[in-house]
Structure 1
Amino acid sequence: MRGRRTGRRHPAGAAVSAAIAVEHHADRVVATLNRPEVRNAIDLQTSEELHELCACLESDPKVLLLTGAGGIFAAGADINQMRERRRDDALRGINSRAFSRLQRLPMPTIALVDGYALGGGAELAYACDFRIGTTSARFGNPEPGLGIIASAGGTWRLREIVAEPVAKEILLAGRVLDADEARRAGLLNEVVERDELVPAGHRWADRITRQVPLAVRLTKAVFHSPREAHPFVDDVAQAVLFETDEKFERMTAFLERKKTS
Protein backbone atom coordinates (compact mmCIF):
# COMPACT_ATOMS: atom_id res chain seq x y z
CA MET A 1 0.00 0.00 0.00
CA ARG A 2 1.11 3.59 -0.51
CA GLY A 3 2.74 5.47 2.32
CA ARG A 4 0.60 8.11 3.96
CA ARG A 5 1.64 11.25 5.77
CA THR A 6 -0.98 13.17 7.60
CA GLY A 7 -1.02 16.72 8.87
CA ARG A 8 -2.91 18.62 11.54
CA ARG A 9 -4.44 22.05 11.81
CA HIS A 10 -4.46 24.48 14.68
CA PRO A 11 -7.89 25.84 15.63
CA ALA A 12 -7.10 28.93 13.57
CA GLY A 13 -6.64 26.70 10.53
CA ALA A 14 -2.87 26.92 10.02
CA ALA A 15 -1.42 23.66 8.70
CA VAL A 16 0.89 21.67 10.96
CA SER A 17 3.13 18.96 9.51
CA ALA A 18 2.97 15.48 10.98
CA ALA A 19 5.34 14.78 13.85
CA ILE A 20 5.21 11.09 12.88
CA ALA A 21 5.23 10.06 9.22
CA VAL A 22 3.38 6.76 8.77
CA GLU A 23 3.61 4.22 5.95
CA HIS A 24 0.98 1.47 5.89
CA HIS A 25 1.78 -1.93 4.39
CA ALA A 26 -0.20 -5.17 4.24
CA ASP A 27 1.30 -6.73 7.38
CA ARG A 28 3.34 -3.94 8.95
CA VAL A 29 3.51 -0.20 9.56
CA VAL A 30 6.64 1.95 9.33
CA ALA A 31 6.47 5.06 11.53
CA THR A 32 9.17 7.74 11.44
CA LEU A 33 9.64 10.42 14.10
CA ASN A 34 9.69 13.42 11.80
CA ARG A 35 11.10 16.46 13.57
CA PRO A 36 14.76 16.31 12.45
CA GLU A 37 15.18 20.07 12.88
CA VAL A 38 14.98 19.50 16.67
CA ARG A 39 16.60 16.04 16.62
CA ASN A 40 13.14 14.43 16.81
CA ALA A 41 12.51 15.78 20.29
CA ILE A 42 9.27 14.32 21.63
CA ASP A 43 6.73 17.09 22.14
CA LEU A 44 3.02 17.06 22.91
CA GLN A 45 2.07 16.70 19.25
CA THR A 46 4.35 13.65 18.92
CA SER A 47 2.72 12.08 21.96
CA GLU A 48 -0.76 12.76 20.58
CA GLU A 49 0.14 11.30 17.19
CA LEU A 50 1.62 8.26 18.90
CA HIS A 51 -1.78 7.70 20.54
CA GLU A 52 -3.40 7.95 17.09
CA LEU A 53 -0.94 5.43 15.68
CA CYS A 54 -1.62 3.05 18.57
CA ALA A 55 -5.37 3.35 18.04
CA CYS A 56 -4.87 2.34 14.42
CA LEU A 57 -2.72 -0.67 15.37
CA GLU A 58 -5.14 -1.73 18.09
CA SER A 59 -8.02 -1.89 15.60
CA ASP A 60 -5.90 -3.41 12.80
CA PRO A 61 -2.98 -5.26 14.47
CA LYS A 62 0.28 -5.19 12.50
CA VAL A 63 4.00 -5.25 13.27
CA LEU A 64 5.34 -1.74 13.90
CA LEU A 65 8.75 -0.49 12.79
CA LEU A 66 9.56 2.77 14.57
CA THR A 67 12.49 4.93 13.50
CA GLY A 68 13.64 8.55 13.34
CA ALA A 69 14.38 10.97 10.51
CA GLY A 70 17.67 12.70 9.89
CA GLY A 71 20.10 10.14 11.28
CA ILE A 72 18.79 10.27 14.84
CA PHE A 73 16.13 8.35 16.73
CA ALA A 74 15.09 10.94 19.35
CA ALA A 75 17.34 13.13 21.46
CA GLY A 76 14.80 13.33 24.28
CA ALA A 77 11.66 15.16 25.24
CA ASP A 78 11.16 18.71 24.01
CA ILE A 79 12.93 20.75 26.71
CA ASN A 80 11.16 23.96 25.71
CA GLN A 81 7.87 22.31 26.63
CA MET A 82 9.25 20.35 29.58
CA ARG A 83 10.60 23.52 31.22
CA GLU A 84 7.11 24.99 31.35
CA ARG A 85 5.34 21.89 32.67
CA ARG A 86 4.25 21.79 36.29
CA ARG A 87 2.92 19.28 38.80
CA ASP A 88 -0.43 18.70 37.11
CA ASP A 89 1.28 18.11 33.76
CA ALA A 90 3.47 15.43 35.32
CA LEU A 91 0.42 13.74 36.84
CA ARG A 92 -1.22 13.61 33.40
CA GLY A 93 1.56 11.23 32.30
CA ILE A 94 1.78 12.77 28.86
CA ASN A 95 4.58 10.54 27.58
CA SER A 96 4.26 7.64 30.01
CA ARG A 97 0.68 6.90 28.94
CA ALA A 98 1.60 6.97 25.26
CA PHE A 99 4.64 4.72 25.75
CA SER A 100 2.66 2.25 27.87
CA ARG A 101 0.02 2.09 25.16
CA LEU A 102 2.79 1.39 22.64
CA GLN A 103 4.10 -1.46 24.79
CA ARG A 104 0.62 -2.99 25.01
CA LEU A 105 0.07 -3.11 21.22
CA PRO A 106 -1.17 -6.54 20.10
CA MET A 107 1.66 -7.26 17.63
CA PRO A 108 5.41 -6.80 18.21
CA THR A 109 7.12 -3.45 17.85
CA ILE A 110 10.67 -2.87 16.58
CA ALA A 111 12.66 0.29 17.33
CA LEU A 112 15.22 1.13 14.62
CA VAL A 113 17.77 3.33 16.36
CA ASP A 114 20.29 5.47 14.51
CA GLY A 115 22.26 8.04 16.46
CA TYR A 116 21.01 9.26 19.81
CA ALA A 117 18.16 7.77 21.81
CA LEU A 118 18.32 9.89 24.93
CA GLY A 119 15.86 10.69 27.70
CA GLY A 120 12.33 10.29 26.37
CA GLY A 121 13.79 8.91 23.14
CA ALA A 122 15.51 6.11 25.05
CA GLU A 123 12.31 5.44 27.00
CA LEU A 124 10.39 5.19 23.73
CA ALA A 125 12.87 2.57 22.51
CA TYR A 126 12.64 0.69 25.83
CA ALA A 127 8.88 0.38 25.31
CA CYS A 128 9.38 -1.56 22.06
CA ASP A 129 9.71 -5.34 21.95
CA PHE A 130 12.90 -5.31 19.87
CA ARG A 131 15.64 -2.76 19.26
CA ILE A 132 17.99 -2.74 16.27
CA GLY A 133 20.71 -0.12 16.20
CA THR A 134 23.35 1.25 13.89
CA THR A 135 26.98 1.44 14.90
CA SER A 136 26.38 5.09 15.84
CA ALA A 137 23.46 4.34 18.20
CA ARG A 138 23.74 5.85 21.68
CA PHE A 139 21.43 5.30 24.67
CA GLY A 140 21.22 7.37 27.82
CA ASN A 141 18.94 8.94 30.43
CA PRO A 142 20.36 12.32 31.45
CA GLU A 143 17.17 13.43 33.23
CA PRO A 144 18.65 13.84 36.74
CA GLY A 145 21.13 16.32 35.28
CA LEU A 146 18.11 18.45 34.36
CA GLY A 147 16.48 18.09 37.75
CA ILE A 148 13.88 15.47 36.77
CA ILE A 149 13.61 11.67 36.47
CA ALA A 150 13.06 9.26 33.60
CA SER A 151 9.33 9.08 34.31
CA ALA A 152 8.08 7.61 31.03
CA GLY A 153 9.07 4.06 31.96
CA GLY A 154 12.85 4.33 32.10
CA THR A 155 13.16 3.70 35.82
CA TRP A 156 11.46 0.31 35.58
CA ARG A 157 11.56 -0.85 31.94
CA LEU A 158 15.33 -0.51 31.68
CA ARG A 159 15.99 -2.82 34.62
CA GLU A 160 13.78 -5.43 32.94
CA ILE A 161 16.01 -5.28 29.84
CA VAL A 162 19.54 -4.94 31.21
CA ALA A 163 21.24 -5.95 34.44
CA GLU A 164 20.45 -3.76 37.45
CA PRO A 165 24.01 -2.39 37.84
CA VAL A 166 24.02 -1.21 34.21
CA ALA A 167 20.55 0.29 34.57
CA LYS A 168 21.72 2.23 37.64
CA GLU A 169 24.78 3.53 35.81
CA ILE A 170 22.54 4.89 33.06
CA LEU A 171 19.77 6.25 35.30
CA LEU A 172 21.81 7.51 38.28
CA ALA A 173 25.27 8.28 36.93
CA GLY A 174 24.49 9.52 33.43
CA ARG A 175 26.31 6.76 31.57
CA VAL A 176 25.66 6.68 27.81
CA LEU A 177 25.95 3.28 26.12
CA ASP A 178 27.37 3.04 22.62
CA ALA A 179 26.07 0.43 20.19
CA ASP A 180 28.52 -2.32 21.17
CA GLU A 181 27.89 -1.78 24.87
CA ALA A 182 24.13 -1.77 24.30
CA ARG A 183 24.38 -5.03 22.34
CA ARG A 184 26.43 -6.71 25.06
CA ALA A 185 23.99 -5.48 27.71
CA GLY A 186 21.02 -6.92 25.81
CA LEU A 187 19.53 -3.51 25.05
CA LEU A 188 20.06 -4.01 21.30
CA ASN A 189 19.07 -7.21 19.54
CA GLU A 190 21.28 -6.47 16.54
CA VAL A 191 23.80 -3.86 15.37
CA VAL A 192 24.03 -2.99 11.66
CA GLU A 193 25.48 -0.31 9.42
CA ARG A 194 23.29 2.73 8.79
CA ASP A 195 22.20 1.75 5.29
CA GLU A 196 21.14 -1.67 6.59
CA LEU A 197 18.94 -0.38 9.42
CA VAL A 198 15.56 -0.32 7.68
CA PRO A 199 16.22 -3.54 5.71
CA ALA A 200 17.19 -5.23 9.00
CA GLY A 201 13.92 -4.05 10.52
CA HIS A 202 12.00 -5.55 7.64
CA ARG A 203 13.90 -8.82 8.01
CA TRP A 204 12.81 -9.00 11.64
CA ALA A 205 9.24 -8.14 10.62
CA ASP A 206 9.40 -10.92 8.01
CA ARG A 207 10.42 -13.41 10.69
CA ILE A 208 7.55 -12.34 12.90
CA THR A 209 4.93 -12.34 10.17
CA ARG A 210 5.87 -15.87 9.12
CA GLN A 211 4.40 -17.00 12.44
CA VAL A 212 0.65 -17.40 12.95
CA PRO A 213 -0.52 -13.86 13.84
CA LEU A 214 -2.95 -14.91 16.58
CA ALA A 215 -0.29 -17.11 18.19
CA VAL A 216 2.13 -14.16 18.19
CA ARG A 217 -0.50 -11.84 19.68
CA LEU A 218 -1.41 -14.27 22.46
CA THR A 219 2.24 -15.09 23.19
CA LYS A 220 2.96 -11.38 23.67
CA ALA A 221 -0.11 -10.95 25.87
CA VAL A 222 0.80 -13.95 28.03
CA PHE A 223 4.44 -12.82 28.23
CA HIS A 224 3.38 -9.48 29.71
CA SER A 225 0.79 -10.95 32.09
CA PRO A 226 1.56 -10.60 35.81
CA ARG A 227 3.16 -13.58 37.54
CA GLU A 228 0.03 -14.37 39.56
CA ALA A 229 -2.00 -14.76 36.34
CA HIS A 230 0.03 -17.82 35.32
CA PRO A 231 -0.62 -20.62 34.46
CA PHE A 232 -4.28 -19.74 33.95
CA VAL A 233 -3.65 -17.22 31.15
CA ASP A 234 -1.33 -19.70 29.42
CA ASP A 235 -4.02 -22.38 29.47
CA VAL A 236 -6.73 -20.04 28.20
CA ALA A 237 -4.53 -18.76 25.37
CA GLN A 238 -3.66 -22.31 24.40
CA ALA A 239 -7.31 -23.33 24.51
CA VAL A 240 -8.15 -20.57 22.03
CA LEU A 241 -5.32 -21.60 19.70
CA PHE A 242 -6.18 -25.30 19.87
CA GLU A 243 -9.49 -24.50 18.15
CA THR A 244 -8.07 -22.52 15.22
CA ASP A 245 -7.78 -23.70 11.62
CA GLU A 246 -4.19 -22.46 11.49
CA LYS A 247 -3.16 -24.86 14.25
CA PHE A 248 -4.56 -27.87 12.39
CA GLU A 249 -3.18 -26.75 9.03
CA ARG A 250 0.33 -25.98 10.27
CA MET A 251 0.64 -29.15 12.35
CA THR A 252 -0.67 -31.27 9.50
CA ALA A 253 1.82 -29.70 7.11
CA PHE A 254 4.63 -30.32 9.63
CA LEU A 255 3.72 -33.99 9.95
CA GLU A 256 3.50 -34.39 6.16
CA ARG A 257 6.96 -32.85 5.71
CA LYS A 258 8.33 -35.15 8.40
CA LYS A 259 6.98 -38.22 6.52
CA THR A 260 8.76 -37.24 3.34
CA SER A 261 12.04 -36.13 4.89
Structure 2
Amino acid sequence: MPTILRDDRADRLWVRLHRPEARNAIDRAMVDELHEVCDELEREPRILLIGGSDGVFAGGADIAELRDRTPADAREGINSRLFDRLARLPMPVIAVVDGWALGGGAELAYAADLRIASDRARFGSPEPSLGIVPAAGATWRLPRLVGEPLAKHMLLAGRVLDAREALAAGLVVAVHDPSELDAAADALVDRIAALDPLAIRHTKRLIDDPTDDPRAAAEAAQAECFGSPAKYERMTAWLDRRPERKNA
Protein backbone atom coordinates (compact mmCIF):
# COMPACT_ATOMS: atom_id res chain seq x y z
CA MET A 1 0.00 0.00 0.00
CA PRO A 2 1.28 3.51 -0.76
CA THR A 3 2.19 5.62 2.25
CA ILE A 4 1.25 8.88 0.52
CA LEU A 5 -1.74 9.98 -1.52
CA ARG A 6 -1.27 12.38 -4.44
CA ASP A 7 -3.46 15.01 -6.07
CA ASP A 8 -1.67 16.27 -9.18
CA ARG A 9 -2.61 19.64 -10.63
CA ALA A 10 -0.98 21.82 -13.25
CA ASP A 11 0.66 24.27 -10.84
CA ARG A 12 0.77 22.26 -7.60
CA LEU A 13 1.09 18.82 -6.13
CA TRP A 14 -0.84 17.81 -3.03
CA VAL A 15 0.77 15.00 -1.04
CA ARG A 16 -1.03 13.51 1.94
CA LEU A 17 0.78 11.28 4.40
CA HIS A 18 -1.30 8.13 4.61
CA ARG A 19 -0.49 5.61 7.28
CA PRO A 20 -3.68 5.90 9.33
CA GLU A 21 -2.91 2.71 11.26
CA ALA A 22 0.27 4.38 12.58
CA ARG A 23 -0.90 8.01 12.92
CA ASN A 24 1.01 8.78 9.72
CA ALA A 25 4.34 7.90 11.33
CA ILE A 26 7.20 8.38 8.89
CA ASP A 27 8.77 5.04 8.00
CA ARG A 28 11.38 4.11 5.43
CA ALA A 29 8.75 3.38 2.77
CA MET A 30 7.30 6.88 3.18
CA VAL A 31 10.79 8.37 3.02
CA ASP A 32 11.40 6.53 -0.26
CA GLU A 33 8.08 7.68 -1.72
CA LEU A 34 8.78 11.30 -0.76
CA HIS A 35 12.20 11.06 -2.42
CA GLU A 36 10.35 10.05 -5.59
CA VAL A 37 8.25 13.20 -5.23
CA CYS A 38 11.45 15.23 -4.92
CA ASP A 39 12.85 13.58 -8.05
CA GLU A 40 9.80 14.71 -9.97
CA LEU A 41 9.64 18.26 -8.61
CA GLU A 42 13.34 18.85 -9.16
CA ARG A 43 12.83 17.99 -12.84
CA GLU A 44 9.48 19.77 -13.27
CA PRO A 45 9.07 22.34 -10.49
CA ARG A 46 5.64 22.89 -8.96
CA ILE A 47 4.43 24.10 -5.60
CA LEU A 48 4.21 21.24 -3.10
CA LEU A 49 1.61 20.95 -0.35
CA ILE A 50 2.13 18.29 2.32
CA GLY A 51 -0.77 17.36 4.57
CA GLY A 52 -1.85 14.51 6.77
CA SER A 53 -5.03 12.51 7.00
CA ASP A 54 -7.68 11.60 9.56
CA GLY A 55 -6.93 14.65 11.71
CA VAL A 56 -3.22 13.87 12.12
CA PHE A 57 -0.31 15.46 10.26
CA ALA A 58 2.38 13.02 11.38
CA GLY A 59 2.83 11.41 14.78
CA GLY A 60 6.60 11.27 14.38
CA ALA A 61 9.04 8.83 12.88
CA ASP A 62 8.07 5.16 13.13
CA ILE A 63 9.27 4.07 16.57
CA ALA A 64 9.17 0.39 15.64
CA GLU A 65 11.78 1.15 12.97
CA LEU A 66 13.74 3.63 15.11
CA ARG A 67 14.14 1.09 17.92
CA ASP A 68 16.11 -1.22 15.65
CA ARG A 69 18.21 1.39 13.86
CA THR A 70 21.93 1.39 14.49
CA PRO A 71 24.61 4.09 14.83
CA ALA A 72 25.32 3.57 11.13
CA ASP A 73 21.66 4.31 10.37
CA ALA A 74 21.91 7.53 12.38
CA ARG A 75 24.94 8.63 10.35
CA GLU A 76 23.03 7.91 7.14
CA GLY A 77 20.55 10.66 8.09
CA ILE A 78 17.53 8.85 6.70
CA ASN A 79 15.00 11.54 7.61
CA SER A 80 17.29 14.57 7.69
CA ARG A 81 18.51 14.01 4.13
CA LEU A 82 14.92 13.83 2.91
CA PHE A 83 13.87 16.95 4.80
CA ASP A 84 16.90 18.84 3.48
CA ARG A 85 15.95 17.82 -0.03
CA LEU A 86 12.36 18.95 0.45
CA ALA A 87 13.59 22.28 1.80
CA ARG A 88 15.75 22.76 -1.31
CA LEU A 89 12.98 22.13 -3.85
CA PRO A 90 12.89 24.93 -6.45
CA MET A 91 9.33 26.05 -5.74
CA PRO A 92 7.75 26.70 -2.33
CA VAL A 93 6.74 23.85 -0.03
CA ILE A 94 3.74 24.34 2.25
CA ALA A 95 3.00 22.13 5.26
CA VAL A 96 -0.73 21.88 5.91
CA VAL A 97 -0.89 20.81 9.55
CA ASP A 98 -4.10 19.41 10.98
CA GLY A 99 -3.71 17.72 14.36
CA TRP A 100 -0.47 16.39 15.79
CA ALA A 101 2.92 17.13 14.26
CA LEU A 102 5.36 15.39 16.57
CA GLY A 103 9.03 14.47 16.38
CA GLY A 104 9.92 13.74 12.78
CA GLY A 105 6.48 14.98 11.75
CA ALA A 106 7.22 18.37 13.28
CA GLU A 107 10.64 18.39 11.62
CA LEU A 108 8.99 17.68 8.28
CA ALA A 109 6.77 20.73 8.83
CA TYR A 110 9.78 22.85 9.84
CA ALA A 111 11.46 21.99 6.52
CA ALA A 112 8.60 23.61 4.59
CA ASP A 113 8.77 27.22 3.45
CA LEU A 114 5.38 28.02 4.99
CA ARG A 115 3.13 26.30 7.49
CA ILE A 116 -0.65 26.70 7.69
CA ALA A 117 -2.55 24.98 10.48
CA SER A 118 -5.94 23.98 11.77
CA ASP A 119 -6.99 25.11 15.23
CA ARG A 120 -6.33 21.60 16.53
CA ALA A 121 -2.69 21.51 15.35
CA ARG A 122 -0.01 20.67 17.92
CA PHE A 123 3.78 20.83 17.50
CA GLY A 124 6.21 19.00 19.76
CA SER A 125 9.51 17.13 20.03
CA PRO A 126 9.35 14.06 22.29
CA GLU A 127 12.63 12.55 21.09
CA PRO A 128 14.60 12.98 24.36
CA SER A 129 11.88 11.05 26.19
CA LEU A 130 12.72 8.14 23.86
CA GLY A 131 16.47 8.37 24.38
CA ILE A 132 17.32 10.12 21.13
CA VAL A 133 17.83 13.67 19.88
CA PRO A 134 15.69 15.59 17.36
CA ALA A 135 18.30 15.16 14.65
CA ALA A 136 16.32 15.77 11.46
CA GLY A 137 16.14 19.55 11.59
CA ALA A 138 14.53 20.72 14.81
CA THR A 139 17.80 21.75 16.46
CA TRP A 140 18.76 24.10 13.61
CA ARG A 141 15.46 25.02 11.92
CA LEU A 142 13.23 25.57 14.95
CA PRO A 143 15.45 28.24 16.60
CA ARG A 144 15.43 30.20 13.32
CA LEU A 145 11.65 29.93 13.11
CA VAL A 146 10.60 30.76 16.69
CA GLY A 147 13.74 32.01 18.42
CA GLU A 148 16.18 30.16 20.66
CA PRO A 149 14.38 30.50 24.04
CA LEU A 150 11.11 29.03 22.81
CA ALA A 151 12.92 26.39 20.74
CA LYS A 152 14.86 25.29 23.81
CA HIS A 153 11.66 25.15 25.86
CA MET A 154 10.20 22.81 23.25
CA LEU A 155 13.31 20.70 22.67
CA LEU A 156 14.69 20.52 26.20
CA ALA A 157 11.53 20.62 28.32
CA GLY A 158 8.99 19.01 26.01
CA ARG A 159 6.72 22.01 25.58
CA VAL A 160 4.02 21.44 22.98
CA LEU A 161 2.73 24.43 21.02
CA ASP A 162 -0.93 24.58 20.17
CA ALA A 163 -2.12 26.29 17.00
CA ARG A 164 -2.61 29.74 18.52
CA GLU A 165 0.78 29.66 20.22
CA ALA A 166 2.36 28.56 16.95
CA LEU A 167 0.70 31.49 15.18
CA ALA A 168 1.87 33.97 17.82
CA ALA A 169 5.41 32.59 17.55
CA GLY A 170 5.43 32.88 13.76
CA LEU A 171 5.74 29.14 13.27
CA VAL A 172 2.55 29.09 11.20
CA VAL A 173 1.21 31.87 9.00
CA ALA A 174 -2.50 31.23 9.56
CA VAL A 175 -4.91 29.11 11.60
CA HIS A 176 -8.24 27.85 10.28
CA ASP A 177 -11.08 25.55 11.20
CA PRO A 178 -10.23 22.00 10.07
CA SER A 179 -13.09 22.06 7.57
CA GLU A 180 -11.60 25.16 5.91
CA LEU A 181 -7.92 24.25 6.05
CA ASP A 182 -7.47 22.67 2.61
CA ALA A 183 -9.32 25.51 0.88
CA ALA A 184 -7.16 28.06 2.74
CA ALA A 185 -4.02 26.19 1.71
CA ASP A 186 -5.13 26.20 -1.93
CA ALA A 187 -5.91 29.93 -1.70
CA LEU A 188 -2.36 30.53 -0.42
CA VAL A 189 -0.98 28.53 -3.34
CA ASP A 190 -3.17 30.50 -5.73
CA ARG A 191 -1.46 33.69 -4.52
CA ILE A 192 1.99 32.20 -5.08
CA ALA A 193 1.07 30.66 -8.42
CA ALA A 194 -0.12 34.04 -9.72
CA LEU A 195 3.43 35.37 -9.39
CA ASP A 196 6.27 34.80 -11.83
CA PRO A 197 7.74 31.30 -11.29
CA LEU A 198 11.31 32.33 -12.16
CA ALA A 199 11.17 35.24 -9.71
CA ILE A 200 9.74 33.00 -6.99
CA ARG A 201 12.43 30.37 -7.52
CA HIS A 202 15.22 32.93 -7.32
CA THR A 203 13.69 34.65 -4.28
CA LYS A 204 13.40 31.38 -2.39
CA ARG A 205 17.00 30.48 -3.24
CA LEU A 206 18.31 33.88 -2.14
CA ILE A 207 16.53 33.52 1.22
CA ASP A 208 17.54 29.92 1.84
CA ASP A 209 21.12 29.94 0.53
CA PRO A 210 22.87 33.08 1.78
CA THR A 211 26.36 33.61 0.43
CA ASP A 212 29.35 35.68 1.48
CA ASP A 213 28.23 38.18 -1.13
CA PRO A 214 24.42 38.28 -1.05
CA ARG A 215 24.33 41.47 -3.08
CA ALA A 216 26.17 39.83 -5.99
CA ALA A 217 23.88 36.79 -5.79
CA ALA A 218 20.79 38.99 -5.84
CA GLU A 219 22.13 41.02 -8.76
CA ALA A 220 22.84 37.85 -10.75
CA ALA A 221 19.32 36.59 -10.10
CA GLN A 222 17.86 39.95 -11.03
CA ALA A 223 19.85 39.98 -14.25
CA GLU A 224 18.28 36.68 -15.27
CA CYS A 225 14.81 37.99 -14.42
CA PHE A 226 15.47 41.18 -16.39
CA GLY A 227 16.24 39.01 -19.42
CA SER A 228 12.98 37.09 -19.11
CA PRO A 229 10.08 37.93 -21.46
CA ALA A 230 7.75 37.47 -18.48
CA LYS A 231 9.25 40.52 -16.77
CA TYR A 232 8.45 42.79 -19.72
CA GLU A 233 4.97 41.28 -20.19
CA ARG A 234 4.04 41.55 -16.51
CA MET A 235 5.29 45.10 -16.15
CA THR A 236 3.51 46.15 -19.33
CA ALA A 237 0.28 44.62 -18.08
CA TRP A 238 0.71 46.39 -14.73
CA LEU A 239 1.25 49.75 -16.41
CA ASP A 240 -1.75 49.21 -18.68
CA ARG A 241 -3.96 48.45 -15.68
CA ARG A 242 -2.73 51.35 -13.54
CA PRO A 243 -1.67 54.21 -15.78
CA GLU A 244 -1.73 56.61 -12.84
CA ARG A 245 0.96 54.65 -11.00
CA LYS A 246 4.35 54.19 -12.65
CA ASN A 247 6.51 52.99 -9.73
CA ALA A 248 6.91 49.51 -8.27
In structure 1, the partner of 2:190 is 206
Partner of residue 7 from structure 2, selected from 23, 39, 47: 23
Of residues 114, 129, 132, the one that matches 1:145 is: 129
Query: What are the residue-to-residue correspondences of 1:44-193 with 2, within 5 Å?
Result: 44-193=28-177
Match of 2:223 in 1: 239
The DSSP-based 3-state class of the residue aligned with 1:42 is coil
3-state DSSP of counterpart to 1:191: strand
Q: 1:41 aligns with which of 25, 41, 44?
A: 25
What is the CA-CA distance between 1:260 and the residue it aligns to? Answer: 5.9
The code of the aligned residue for 2:39 comes to A
SS at match of 1:18: coil
1: CA distance between counterparts of 2:232 and 2:114?
Answer: 29
Distance in 1 (CA, whole Å) between partners of 2:221 and 2:185 is 28
CA distance in 2 between counterparts of 1:158 and 1:227 reads 21
Deviation at 1:254, TM superposition (A): 1.7
Question: CA 1:229/1:83 → structure 2, altered by over 3 Å: closer, same or farther?
Answer: farther
Q: Return closer, same or farther for 1:62/1:139 CA change in 2, 3 Å cut-off.
A: same
Q: Classify the secondary structure of the residue corresponding to 2:242.
A: helix
Does structure 1 conserve the Cα–Cα contact (< 8 Å) formed by 2:100 and 2:121? yes
Q: TM-score, normalised by structure 2?
A: 0.97
CA contact (8 A) 2:119 2:164 kept: yes
Q: TM-score, normalised by structure 1?
A: 0.92
Cα distance in 2, alignment partners of residues 82 and 134 from structure 1: 29
Deviation at 1:56, TM superposition (A): 0.7
- Residues 211 and 217, structure 2, Cα contact 8 Å, conserved in 1: no
Cα distance between partner residues in 1 of 2:60 and 2:89: 22
Cα separation, 2, equivalents of 1:260 and 1:238: 26
Q: Which sits farther off after the overlay, 228-237 or 116-125?
A: 228-237
Alpha-carbon distance, 1:232 to partner: 1.4
Cα distance in 1 for partners of 2:176, 2:143 equals 24
Give me the whole-angstrom Cα distance separating, in 2, the residues matched to 1:130 and 1:225. 16
Q: Which amino acid aligns with 2:27?
A: D
In structure 2, C-alpha distance between the alignment counterparts of 1:229 and 1:71, rounded to whole Å: 44
What is the number of equivalent residue pairs in this alignment?
245
Task: State the Cα distance separating 1:222 from its structure 2 match.
Answer: 1.0
Give the equivalent residue in structure 1 for 2:180. 196
Per-residue deviation, 1:71: 0.8
Runs of 5+ consecutive residues of structure 2 not aligned to the other structure: none
Q: What SS class does the counterpart of residue 22 from structure 1 fall into?
A: strand
Runs of 4+ in 1 over 4 A off after TM superposition: none
1:5 equivalent in structure 2: none
Q: Per-residue deviation at 1:21? A: 1.0
For 1:112 and 1:251, how far apart are their aligned partners in 2? 33
Q: Deviations over 1:24-81 (max 9, x none)?
A: 1010000000001100000000111110001111111001111011110001000000
CA RMSD of aligned residues (A): 1.0
Q: Distance in 1 between matches of 2:197 and 2:210?
A: 22
Pick the aligned partner of 1:228 from 192, 212, 228: 212
Residue 163 of structure 1 and its aligned partner are, at CA, apart by 1.5
* 1:233 positional shift: 1.0
- Partner SS, residue 228 of structure 1: coil
